[in-house]
A and B are shown apart, each in its own frame.
Chain A
Amino acid sequence: MFTAGFKFFFKLFVVLITAAIVYGYTSGGNHVGPLSVGWKGGVGDHTGYGILLALATVSLVISLALIAFRDADAEAQAELLNVDRIPIPPQRAVKASWWPTVSAFGIGTTVIGLVLHPAIFVLGLATVGLVVVEWTMDAWADRVTGDTKANRMLRNRIMAPIEIPVLGALAVGIVVLAASRILLTVSALGAVLATSVIAVIILAYASVYVAWPELARKFIPELAILACFVLLVGGVLAAIKGEREFHHPESSSDSTLYETDTDDASETHNPIDGNIDENHSGISDTSSVES
């Protein structure tokens, strides 16, 4: 009559509710406080009492659910489906999907963005939102009919016009934002070197792709995952280190034409150096004449 699952959780409930009451009284409760959830009297330590009470409630609810479901035994579920014997779920009923992994990356981005920058946070949330939509549609399409091909077609008919532009924009956004944080953290020379190396890698990969397309295609996911990890770790490190120091020009609109964080920059303001100054004044003179 009483199922094993019900008995386990109900005993858990009895133990926990007893523990809550005993704990309530022994930690300073009075009157009937621990018996009436603090209605009449104190319950002692509120934290422990409250948590024990919550655990007891949950145990009771689970035990009641399990007895209602008859422990979700195969026989009970078969009866619910009006079949003699419950079908064991097919081995490959659920096809492989990228979305769980992308969702984890989305949550990771949200977490980093919460600390690092609101834009990254929003980007992470957008990724999670995207995953919710895609995952839901995939799950729906998997079960819409018994024909796998038809399911695929139905899904693509609804989703392809939306997902291709959105995914493209999102991928570019993630790369640009995360990479910019890293580049703002490393030194100016380091940033130049890093971008050069990345450019060379992309060029090399493109060359390999042209020469051996099959081989290159095989490594696309591997490289994508590796890049995501590098960006995530780089993002965390960039958050911790912060941006490098930038030297901004103090005044004069002309000076903004030149980088001021190098020694050469100071030379542009040197009145002794006639050529450079002349060029400057020449430009401004011309513009003033034209105006």
Chain B
Amino acid sequence: MKTTSLPSPVPTRPRTVLIGSLLASSATFIAFCSLVALYVRHRQQARIVGQDWFTEGSLQLGPASMMLMTLLLSVVTVQWAVQSAKTEDRPHQFMALGTTLLFGVAVLNQFWFVYQDVGLAIDDSKAALFFYVVTGAFIAMLVVAMIAMIIATVRSLAGTFGKELANIVQASAFFWHATVVCYALVWYTVFVTK
């Protein structure tokens, strides 16, 4: 069926999806920050009474920084996708979205490596419990962001390639950026300041 011979859909409000994404990202960000705040609070309590939070050398900064770099690269590819959608450049948009998703999968893979490398059991200590809660929450957020990206990709399959599609990609990108900011928080509070 030739879709080009059919009428275009009625235009809708262009900002709706963006505003929705903005609010959803905000709510998720607050939940995440709340977890990080509790993490820092418990770590501080442990230090006050002279306990070690993590044993020396149990958390390596290298893999964590590699994940941060991967996610920073994904920020660029996401914006590439947004720009492609705005200029109605379908091949580049698919390529950019695919690369972003690939970076997402890479981060998940790196997290798997970190979990194996750390070798902490969840019931080892309060620190281990918090470590898994905070990083697990981030992984959940990343998975949601990846699903949003996949949805944006599917929406680009066919049909009118207009501003509405660019808005959807932009909305997904916004959530992706919020996810990267959350990881930056994890990187700093969990891996850098330990």
Contacts and interface: CB of A to CB of B under 8 A. Distances in A.
Q: In the complex, are there CB atoms of A and B closer than 8 Å?
A: yes
Interface of A: 45-51, 53-55, 57-58, 61-62, 65, 69, 72, 76-77, 80-81, 83, 86-87, 89-90, 93, 132, 136-137, 139-140, 142-147, 150, 153-154, 157
A86 B11 CA distance: 9
B181 to A, nearest CB: 9
A113 B12 CA distance: 39
A50 B3 contact: no
A45 B22 contact: no
B187 to A, nearest CB: 15
B157 A93 contact: no
A46 B44 contact: yes
Contact of B1 (A45, A49, A80, A153): A153
A140 B154 contact: yes
10 contacts: A54-B33, A54-B34, A55-B30, A65-B22, A69-B19, A83-B11, A87-B12, A132-B147, A142-B9, A146-B9
A49 B41 CA distance: 10
A51 B26 CA distance: 13
A48 B151 CA distance: 36
B29 interface: yes
B15 A140 contact: no
Contacts of B150: 136
Interface residues of B, number: 39
B26 A50 contact: no
B94 to A, nearest CB: 15
B7 interface: yes
B116 to A, nearest CB: 21
A146 B150 CA distance: 24
B14 A81 contact: yes
A72 B19 contact: yes
B155 A89 contact: no
A76 B151 CA distance: 27
A143 B40 contact: no
Contacts of A77: 13-15
B10 A61 contact: no
Contact of A89 (B13, B23, B41, B44): B13
Instruction: Identify which of B9, B147, B150 gathers the most chain A CB atoms within 10 Å of its CB.
Output: B9
B22 A62 contact: yes
Contacts of B147: 132
B92 interface: no
Contacts of A137: 154
A144 B14 contact: no
B135 interface: no
B151 A145 contact: no
A43 to B, nearest CB: 9
Contact of A50 (B10, B16, B33, B155): B33
B29 to A, nearest CB: 6
Given A90-B10, A136-B151, A144 B160 contact: yes
Interface in B28-79: 29-30, 33-34, 36-38, 40-41, 44
Interface string B98-126: 00000000000000000000000000000
A147 B33 contact: no
A58 B18 CA distance: 15
Given A69-B18, A72-B16, 13 more contacts: A50-B34, A50-B36, A51-B37, A54-B29, A57-B29, A62-B23, A72-B15, A76-B15, A80-B15, A87-B10, A93-B12, A136-B155, A140-B157
Contacts of B157: 140
B11 A87 contact: yes
3 interchain residue pairs of minimum CB distance: A50-B37, A54-B33, A146-B7
A167 to B, nearest CB: 19
Nearest to A146: B7
Contact of B13 (A45, A51, A86, A144): A86
A58 B15 contact: no
Contacts of A139: 155
Given A45-B41, A143-B164, A93 B10 contact: yes
Contacts of B136: none
A271 B30 CA distance: 73
A140 to B, nearest CB: 5
B90 interface: no
Given A72-B15, A154-B1, A62 B6 contact: no
Interface in B124-182: 147, 150-151, 154-155, 157-160, 163-164
Contacts of B3: 144-145, 150, 154
